[in-house]
Structure 1
Amino acid sequence: MAKAVEVADVMDHLEAFQDIADSHDGNRGAGTSGYDASGAYVEDTLRAAGYDTQRQWFDFTYFEVVSSSLTVGGSPIDENVMSYSPSTPVGGVTGPLAAPAVATGCAAGDWAGFPAGSVALISRGACAFGVKAANAKTAGAVAAVVYNNEEGELHGTLGGPGDYAPATGITQADGKALLARLGETTTFEAQTVLEERSTFNVLAETDKGRDDNVVMMGAHLDSVNDGPGINDNGTGSAALLETAVQLAKANKLNNKLRFAWWGAEEHGLLGSEHYVADLKENDPAALEDIATYLNFDMVGSPNHIIGVYDADQSTYEADVDVPEGSAETEDVLTDWFDSQDQAWVDTPFSGRSDYAAFIDAGIPSSGLFTGADDVKTEEQEDLFGGTAGIILDPNYHTPEDDISNLNVDALDVMSDAIAASAILLAQDTSDINNKRSRGKSGKPGPDVVVMEHVAHHLR
């Protein structure tokens, strides 16, 4: 499988996604024609490989930033409007720059004495961005500017529509500099679109394998509205698609593989949440039949790491409940890398991508990630090359996230790992959930025996 899933074929899918974005306003965002065309491409490719496909529709709140700007004392400041921010009036809102008494602004008391009519300068941390923006409006702020508490740009979300001050994010460096400029005249303008739309997940599964022990693999198909989203997450979508194409050629699978291309991840993990919620309500037995879920979100970052979600918490303590079997799912990926003498590192198991709904439902999970807006360390530079001191994907959530800004070597490594984990888990999940596919004699089938032999040499 690893040899069958060739990076050149994965790149062909990415070229198709780039062409789609180029023909549809430069993006493939959920609820847009670019997303619809991306879904149709995935479906057509799967059907040509022999799969039946399903569109799972759901409604969501569509958000788009049409234009925005921030100036302090007449000087422009780079900013990123937070998802679900309300629009300002045309021409923006203007007031003196002021900070709450407590920098994070998470409690009503933090805003004692805040001058109404000001633009609030707030530190990231301690509570959700939506809480900060709501508290700012209650305190009389005309806008909320949140500065990062670590290096890198701040791309935040308010979590959904609400009663907020118009809100945007800036870097830690700009925030610290502005703390010395409190009182200066500040203008913030944001023209946004906030409306209800429909979108869909694309689902397909193998016709071979037991359907009471299903392995799921997923990647979000949508981009942000500000760019084509070729790394985020065309890469995961394309590698998963080519894995499905090649797996369809397998003569025998012990366990069914179900593939998902999620919609509206960039609007709050909505597609995967809808899928799990629908199973909980309408087919809870099918939810219990999912042995494990693997997520692939950004696997070609230009300044990459080879990252595996740290389900066993050997490096990062998870801030979510980790279902039993997740560590063993992680082992499938890390054992593969070890067998290939490929360096890898843990990446936090934080619930920030589409595996969140699965672990909330108690389903073991792990996955792969080459990095977004975290800054590369010197240790990571030693392992993977690239440049320490800059973020892992400098084009993250920008129009420059295009076909010219991928690390194809990283994509190749990750595509092989996706392919290998697919065939390994299609044959045996017993280490994860103690379920073993058996032949008619009651003994393990020949494929299981072979894979046990392979697994022995991978450990």
Structure 2
Amino acid sequence: MVSRSFRRLCGAAAAAVLLGAFTIATPAQAHSSNNPVKKLTKEVTLPGVLRHLVAFQGIAALNGGNRASGLPGYDRSADYVAALAKKAGYKVTRQPFSFTYCEDTGSSFRQLSPTPTTYVDQTDYDVLDCSGDGTATGQAVPVDVNLTPPRASSSGCEASDFGPDVVGKIAIMQRGAPPGVTCTFGVKVQNAQAAGAIGAIIFNQGNGTPEANPDRYGLFAGTLGGPVSIPAVSVSYDLGAALVAAAQAGTLNLEISVDAISETRNTSNVIAESRWGDPNEVVMVGSHLDSEPDTAGINDNGTGSAGILEVALQMAKFKTKNKVRFAWWGAEESNLVGSTFYVANLPQAERDKIALYLNFDMIGSPNYTFGVYDGDDSAAEGSPAGPPGSAQIEDVFEAFFASRGEATDASDFTGRSDYGPFIAAGVGIPAGGLFTGAEVQKTAADVALWGGVAGAQYDPCYHAPCDSLTPERDGADAALYRQLRREYRLFGNVNTFALETNADAVATAVATFAYDTSTIPPRTPPAAAAARTAAVGAAQDSEGAWLG
């Protein structure tokens, strides 16, 4: 049953969307404070953040159920953010750009022989973003796979991986790449296509252990980075290994069918810069504003966008020492296009003015963990440390969570979100941020720290229509959400405790650096930055080009 307070909040927010009636700070209210960090953190409240989520849900409801870049729901979301930021006194700009819009509107995946099986979308397989449109039916063949632990794989990374036996067949490839080799999912599928394959399957690598590395075993979402002409899907390690075994034992026949759209569309970033502060010392804060085309994206990434919007509105009252620049990125779900476009088109002199970048992507996952980007690589897993200064950013977040008595998890710099272009080769801007988890399953060890449901995804509605304020109505597992609601207080597909705590962490970090960046070391010289971040690029390539 929907509570009265929920209905009141929905009604108030809906009216605000239509009338532009949110009460926000005006420039006349600007002031300084003896303790601006504590003051800003206090003024950023859960109801303040939730009102923006209700607005995003309302926008999605009026625009086809989504807020995806290239569609009206994103444009209205950008209008909403820009209008509030401008009214609060920020200098607001819209940065237009074009991108390849990809959407699958339907799919099926079946094993025809030797064991007729119909696989379930989002459970057994996922269509890779920018997959080709059409149906591939025929024999499947493995391509240079390695099922022997530790399962080091470069399957499909080189044209030489494909022999004449792949022509007219469906190529089964394994996730992974050798160190230092650029080999995204797109590279693998393009190589398969060039070799004459009629379809492609990429299965998870299966390196590490299922307990310690569940993200390397389960079903994953990925992007090809651009359109291909053959249908392509991803599957888990276990399903991939079973398909490989069936193919090696005899004739494995499959059918992959994808209804897909791929075309150039226009969208924009929204940039809001404070009137106060040193323009040569810019603290940049970003979240992607777009959703997937089949969802309102309330957690991914309504939570990050709403969180930094509320921080920006409340921070408009403060005269900060440093310039603060907020960004809401477009087309992140199309492989970080908006943030990449922004960084690529920023002159070097302007890049040098950015002291650091803070990224907030999914900060209210229902079955959450408190993830902090691992700036110093203390976990020694995956990608190396961030550019110099990233460790100091991590320290600020760690100190905040310690003050709340909350445990944190080191979230690897995989390049999966919009910090990627900032830490990339030749840029080397220090970065940090928060992440409460996506499609990876929560472990028993996680439950011991944060509660919740072991074996369920951190966000059970990740990239699904149920990432909304009415998840069960939109297809979520009702039994699982009843269990989550017994554990936590949820607001739709959002954990209110995680969101409120993380919103305070956002405010604390933004205010800390808005007044003092002295802990951030001088920028690494470009040559050294390129060398360090080239390692990050290599690590990202081994993961594949991920969706956020």
TM-score, length of structure 2 as denominator length: 0.75
Runs of at least 5 residues in structure 2 that lack an aligned partner in the other structure: 1-39, 147-154, 178-182, 206-215, 470-491, 524-548
Task: Confirm or deny that 1:119 pairs with 2:170.
Answer: yes
| 1:273 and 2:340 correspond | yes
1:322 deviates by: 2.7
- Paired residues for 1:19-38 under 5 Å: 19-38=58-77
- 1:100–1:114 CA contact under 8 A, matched in 2: no
Give identity over the alignment, percent: 46
Aligned 1:409-424 pairs, distance under 5 A: 409-424=497-512
Q: Matched residue of 1:298: which SS?
A: coil
Q: Are the aligned partners of 1:114 and 1:139 in contact in 2 as well (CA < 8 Å)?
A: no
1:42 equivalent among 72, 81, 88: 81
Pairing 1:175-324 to 2, within 5 Å after superposition: 175-182=240-247, 183-250=251-318, 252-280=319-347, 284-317=348-381, 319=383, 322-324=386-388
Q: Deviations over 1:291-331 (max 9, x none)?
A: 11100000011111101100111113563573211111111
How many angstroms apart in 2 are the aligned matches of 1:288 and 1:123? 39
Confirm whether residue 368 of structure 1 aligns to residue 434 of structure 2.
yes
Structure 1 residues 101 and 204: CA distance shift in structure 2, 3 A: closer
Residues 278-297 of structure 1, C-alpha deviations (whole Å, 9 max, x = no match): 113xxx32221111110000
Matched, 1:59 2:98: yes
Cα offset, 1:101, TM superposition? 4.6
1:147 aligns with 2:212: no
Shift of 1:424: 1.1
The answer to whether structure 1 residue 346 and structure 2 residue 410 are counterparts is: yes
Deviates most, 328-337 or 122-131:
122-131
User: What is residue 447 of structure 2 aligned with on the other side?
Assistant: 381
1:232-269 alpha-carbon deviations (Å, 9 max, x no partner):
1110000000000100112x211111100001111111
Partner of 2:423: 359
* TM-score (structure 1 length as normaliser): 0.89
Aligned to 2:5: none
CA distance in 2, matches of 1:352, 1:338: 26
Contact 1:80 / 1:154 at 8 angstroms: preserved in 2? Answer: yes
Give 1:129's aligned residue: 185
- For 1:403-414, list aligned pairs within 5 A: 403=469, 404-414=492-502
Q: For residue 45 of structure 2, what is the aligned residue in structure 1?
A: 6
Counterpart secondary structure, 2:506: helix
Does the 8 Å CA contact 1:210/1:254 hold for their aligned counterparts? yes
CA distance in 2, matches of 1:102, 1:305: 33
In the alignment, the residues of structure 2 paired with residue 56 and residue 134 of structure 1 have an alpha-carbon distance, to the nearest angstrom, of: 31
1-side partners of 2:74 and 2:276: how far apart?
A: 30
Give yes or no for contact 1:97–1:181 (8 Å, CA) kept in 2.
no
Could you say what secondary structure the match of 2:519 adopts?
helix
How far apart in 1 are the matches of 2:338 and 2:308?
17
Change (3 A) 1:317 1:184: closer
What is the CA-CA distance between 1:386 and the residue it aligns to?
Answer: 1.2
User: Is the 1:320–1:350 contact (alpha carbons within 8 Å) kept by the matching residues of 2?
Assistant: no
Shift of 1:9: 1.4
1:166 to 231, 235, 255: 231
SS state of the match for residue 430, structure 1?
Answer: coil
Give, as a single letter, the amino acid of the residue that structure 1 aligns with 2:243.
L
Measure, in 2, the Cα distance between the counterparts of 1:406 and 1:274.
30
Query: Which amino acid is the alignment partner of residue 187 of structure 2?
Result: V
Task: Look up the SS of the partner of 2:438 in the other structure.
Answer: coil
AA matched with 2:394: E
Superposition RMSD in Å: 1.8
Q: CA deviation at 1:105?
A: 3.0
Q: In the alignment, is residue 80 of structure 1 matched against residue 126 of structure 2?
A: yes
Q: Give the deviation of 1:12 after TM superposition.
A: 0.9
- 1: CA distance between counterparts of 2:380 and 2:342? 28
CA distance in 1, matches of 2:458, 2:184: 24
CA distance in 2, matches of 1:94, 1:424: 57
SS in 2 for 1:181: helix
The answer for the alignment partner of 1:455 in structure 2 is none
User: What is the CA distance between 1:227 and its match in structure 2?
Assistant: 1.1
Hey, what's the Cα distance between the residues in 2 that align with 1:340 and 1:409?
A: 12
Partner secondary structure for residue 346 of structure 2: helix
Contact 1:27 1:224 in 2 (8 A): yes
1:335 aligns with 2:399: yes
Return 5+ residue gaps in structure 1 as ranges.
436-459
State how far apart, in whole Å, the 2-side matches of 1:263 and 1:3 are. Answer: 30
Change (3 A) 1:274 1:131: closer
Deviation for aligned residue 1:115: 4.7
Distance in 1 between the 2:456 and 2:173 partners?
Answer: 24
Aligned-pair distance for 1:6? Answer: 0.6
Moved more, 147-156 or 330-339: 147-156
Aligned equivalent of 1:97, options 140, 145, 149: 140
Kindly tell me: are residues 70 and 318 of structure 1, through their superposed partners in 2, closer, same or farther at Cα, counting changes over 3 Å? closer
- Partners of 2:366 and 2:343 lie apart in 1 by 32
- Asked whether the 8 Å contact 2:204–2:219 carries over to 1, the reply is yes
Q: Which moved more, 1:142-151 or 1:173-182?
A: 173-182
Q: What is the aligned partner in structure 2 of residue 430 from structure 1?
A: 518
Which residue of the partner structure matches residue 439 of structure 1? none
Find the counterpart in structure 2 of residue 438 from structure 1.
none
Q: 1:317 to 1:147 in 2, by over 3 A?
A: closer
Moved more, 191-200 or 311-320: 311-320
AA aligned to 2:176 is: G
**Cα distance in 1 between the residues matched to 2:384 and 2:232:** 27
Q: Residue type of the partner of 2:519?
A: D
Q: Secondary structure at the match of 1:34?
A: helix
**SS state at 1:314 partner:** coil
Which SS does the other structure have where 1:391 is aligned? coil
CA distance in 1, matches of 2:144, 2:412: 32
Q: Which amino acid aligns with 1:237?
A: S
Aligned length: 427
Equivalent residue for 1:444? none
CA distance in 1, matches of 2:285, 2:144: 46
